[in-house]
Structures are given as C-alpha cells and as structure tokens.
Structure 1
Amino acid sequence: MKINWGTSIVIAFALFISFIMYFVLKVQSDSKYDNELVVEEYYKHDVHFQDEMARAQNAHDLKEKPVISVQTDGITIAFPANFSPKEIKGTVAFYRASNKKFDFQAPLSFADSASLLIPKEKFVGGEWYINMEWKYGGKSYLTKEKIYIK
C-alpha cells in the first residue's frame, strides 16, 4: 500500500494531537503535577492591595529594618535593638510556591530579645516566600522577602 503526502500529513497531525492530549490528561489527573493558586480567593486578596502597599511603604520608611536571615539551625527574624519586643505584634507567613502543603504561619512573639528563631525542621529545601505583617507603635508594617534553604 502506497501512502501519498496528503495521508502522511493527516497521520502526522493525528499523532501530534494524540501526543499533546496524552500530556494534558496526564498533568490533569496526576497529583504530582499540582496546579493550585498561590493564594486562595485571589480576587478578595487583590481588593486590599492599596492597604498592603501602604504597610509595605511604612516598613520601607523605617531607618532600621527587621532582618530575616538563614542560619544553620533555622530562620532568624531579628528586630532592631530600639524596638520594644513586647510591643511587636503580628505574624510571619512562609509560602512554598511549589507546594501549598508546606505553607505555614507563626506568631511574632518575643520574650526578652527582639529575635525569633523558626527551627529548620519546619522547612524543606528550596525557595520560600516570607510575608511578615506586624504592628508597632500604632502603625502597621509589611515585609516581603524571598529566601533559599539548602
């Protein structure tokens, strides 16, 4: 049986469409390829964008800013010495863009020093996004950072 060029093109298109459909179905059905949104209720989150920008500007305007650093035993969040630790109230959220299951939040609670250590056991290696929201002296602040944990 001889196949002409028109039949060959139709066969090539059919094979290509089958190849693409296989991958689309595999990605949609396999839980390994999780395609979730980073933030639930994206549109509700977007409505408060101007307030978020004001809090980020407040944090940017500080002369001495909190420092988030990766240590061997975990993540350290250190506020400047001129901040009173008992007046700092807020939360720090850790987001893992690749998997929502690893996301968690921790309260900003300090004993005597204005430093907080989050143990390394709570993290898996890779890129993390940190959103730290806090209030101090009647003002709201927001700090966003990206870190990499080995």
Structure 2
Amino acid sequence: MKWNWGKGIVLGMLAFMTFILYMVITMSTDKNYSHDLVTEEYYAKEMAYQTEIDAETNMQYLSTKITGKKTPEGWLLNFPKELETQMITGNVFLYRPSNKKLDFELPLKLSGQNLVIPDNMLLDGRWNITIAFKFQDKNYLYKESITY
C-alpha cells in the first residue's frame, strides 16, 4: 500500500476527531468535571433582585460601613455604632466560589458591635460574605469578597 499526502491528511483528521470525541465524552460523564450553575434556583433568585438592590441601597445610608479583618479567632466584622445590636435580626451566608460544599450559613448573633466567624469554619482562599439583616423594619444587605 502506497502512502501519499492525501491518506496522511485523512488519518490526521480521523485522529483529531477521535481525540475531540473522547474529550467530549469524558467531560460530560466524569463527575470531576461536573459544573453546575453558580447558585441553585438561579432564575427564582433573579426575580427577587430588586429587593436586594433596595437593601444594598439602605446600607449606603449608614454613617459608617461594616468592616472586616482577619484575626486569630477568625474573620471579625465590625458593625456601625448607630445600629442597636439587640434589634438586628438576620443571617450571614459564606459562599466559596471554588467549592459549593464549603458554603454555610450562620444566624446573625452580635457581641457588642462585632461578629466573629470562627477560624475553624473558614479555609484559606476566596470567600464571598453576604449579610442580610433587618433593623427598624428596613432590610439591609452587605456583600464583600474576602481572601482569608
């Protein structure tokens, strides 16, 4: 059998198509490559987005912002002094973009003007913190991306 450039091109194309087909099958069946939407029930969350915008706008009317820093105990959040901490109700949601299994939610329990997210709950890396709380019948929403 004589080899020429035409047969080489056909074999090259067949090898390339086989490789692509292998990659498509591997990526669609292997659980390690499974990628979901960023959040569950994405479309339902999108419908409630205006209330989220209003709550974020309410945060801007506070005289000082919520600040956070890393401490040996964990991530320390300082709330503005104008908020009476006994009247605040809400929760803290920590979202790990790289692994949804690490996401968790805590009730908002302040000691003084501070909230500490324990060190044993946080791994090094990027986290998105969302604090949704209610004070004097107004909703507030604080969002921040941190590197722990």
**Is the pair's TM-score, using the shorter chain for normalization, greater than 0.5?**
yes
The answer to whether the 8 Å contact 1:129/1:147 transfers is yes
Matched, 1:148 2:132: no
Distance 1:21 1:53, change over 3 A: same
Displacement of 1:35 in angstroms is 0.6
Give runs of aligned pairs for residues 52-131 of structure 1, distance below 5 A: 52-111=52-111, 113-131=112-130
Q: Quote the Cα distance in structure 1 between the aligned partners of 2:18 and 2:12.
A: 10
TM-score by length of 2: 0.90
Instruction: Give the root-mean-square deviation of aligned CA atoms.
Output: 1.6
Residues 63-94 of structure 1, C-alpha deviations (whole Å, 9 max, x = no match): 21211222232111211222211111111100
Q: Distance in 2 between matches of 1:121 and 1:32?
A: 26
The percentage of aligned residue pairs carrying the same residue is: 36
Unaligned stretches of 5+ in structure 2? none
Q: Structure 1 pair 47/27, CA: closer, same or farther in 2 (3 Å)?
A: same
User: 1:59 is aligned with what amino acid?
Assistant: M
Residues 144, 4 of structure 1: CA spacing in aligned structure 2 closer, same or farther, 3 A cutoff? same
Which amino acid is 2:113 matched to? A
Asked if the contact 2:126–2:145 (Cα under 8 Å) also holds between the matched residues in 1, the reply is yes
Task: Decide whether the 8 Å contact of 2:92 with 2:105 is kept in 1.
Answer: yes
Aligned match of 1:13: 13
One-letter amino acid of the structure 2 residue matched with residue 117 of structure 1: V
Q: Distance in 2 between matches of 1:71 and 1:22?
A: 48
Higher deviation after alignment, 18-27 or 51-60? 18-27
* Count of residue correspondences: 148
CA gap of 1:125–1:29, structure 2 versus 1, over 3 A, is farther
Q: Counterpart of 1:32?
A: 32
Distance 1:23 1:128 in 2: 31
Contact map agreement 1:34 1:99 (CA 8 A) in 2: no
Which stretches of structure 1, 4 residues or longer, exceed 4 Å deviation after superposition? none
